[in-house]
């Protein structure tokens, strides 16, 4: 199957700093990428949908100025958590889909801990 | 609006016994149905999907799922469970096109030796 990578896999940062998470599709071109957030023992919550070359579409309740998404190429999307606070600590997972295909492939996730 | 229900938070099964993880869905059009598995501190791994065609879908690691339109169900099954199948399983649905998946809340499967 298709491979999606995320970097970093784990990050610890101080409150007030910004953190960038990268999501890459390694062996296919992803026309659309999705960013999810998962709290412990809970399901995935969709944060935003990112299409290459256009602005991301954010789900209701997700602050677009806090969670900046850039999908500059067909293989890379980035999520920047700006001015992170402890409540932003979570597991962030990206997924990617190629045009015309049905299956979303997921990255391994990034665990963010804000102190 | 699409939705997915996984009625069981936890399923326990003895190794070698058959397992079933339940999923029902609600979608306005024809459903695209998926099962994913998540191991601790890992992302989601794709298991299988139903788009069209045969109602019985076979996927990775010996898992299969049956699409039942009348009952709007897509239960995940395996004839003989392994301890290594212990993980968190998510059912998901979406419409056609590049729309995002809507996930169920997950079912934790525990296979006991």
pLDDT digits (tens, 9 = 90+) for A3-28: 899 999 999 999 999 999 999 999 88
Query: For residues A11 and A110, is the Cβ–Cβ distance under 8 A?
Result: yes
Mark which residues 36-95 of A lie under 8 Å from B by CB: 42-44, 46, 49, 51, 91, 93, 95
Segment B38-55, tens digit of pLDDT: 988 778 899 999 998 899
B102 alpha carbon, distance to own chain's centre: 13
DSSP A83: S
Residue A59 pLDDT? 93
The segments of chain B whose pLDDT lies below 50 read none
Interface of B with A in 69-88 (CB under 8 A): none
pLDDT at residue A41 tops 80: no
| Nearest Cα to Cα of residue A90 among A35, A40, A24 | A40
SS3 B85: helix
Alpha carbon distance A32, A53 (integer Å) = 10
pLDDT attached to residue B95:
80
Which residues are CB-contacts of B35 (< 8 A; sequence separation ≥ 6)? B23, B47, B48, B49, B59, B63, B65, B74, B76, B89, B90, B91, B92
**Phi and psi angles of residue A20, each rounded to the nearest 5 degrees, phi first:** -110, 130
């Amino acid at each position: 199957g298709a491979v999606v990578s995320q970097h970093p896999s784990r990050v610890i940062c101080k409150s007030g700093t910004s953190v960038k998470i990268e999501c890459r599709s390694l062996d296919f071109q992803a026309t659309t990428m999705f960013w999810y957030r998962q709290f412990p023992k809970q399901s995935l919550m969709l944060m935003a949908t990112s299409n290459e070359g256009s602005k991301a579409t954010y789900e209701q309740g997700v602050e677009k100025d806090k969670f900046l998404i850039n999908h500059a190429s067909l293989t890379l999307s980035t999520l920047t958590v700006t001015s992170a606070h402890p409540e932003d600590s979570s597991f962030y997972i990206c997924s990617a889909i190629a045009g015309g295909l049905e299956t979303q492939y997921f990255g391994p996730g990034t665990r963010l801990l804000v102190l | 609006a699409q939705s997915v229900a996984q009625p069981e938070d936890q399923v326990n099964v003895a190794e070698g016994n058959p397992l079933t993880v339940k999923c029902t869905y609600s979608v306005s059009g024809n459903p695209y149905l998926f099962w994913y598995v998540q191991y601790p501190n890992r992302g989601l791994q794709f298991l299988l999907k139903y788009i069209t065609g045969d109602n019985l879908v076979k996927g990775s690691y010996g898992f299969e799922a049956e699409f039942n339109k009348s009952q709007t169900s897509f239960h995940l099954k395996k004839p003989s469970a392994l301890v290594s199948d212990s993980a968190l399983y998510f059912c998901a649905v979406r419409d056609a096109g590049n729309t995002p998946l809507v996930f169920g809340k997950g079912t934790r499967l525990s296979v006991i030796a």
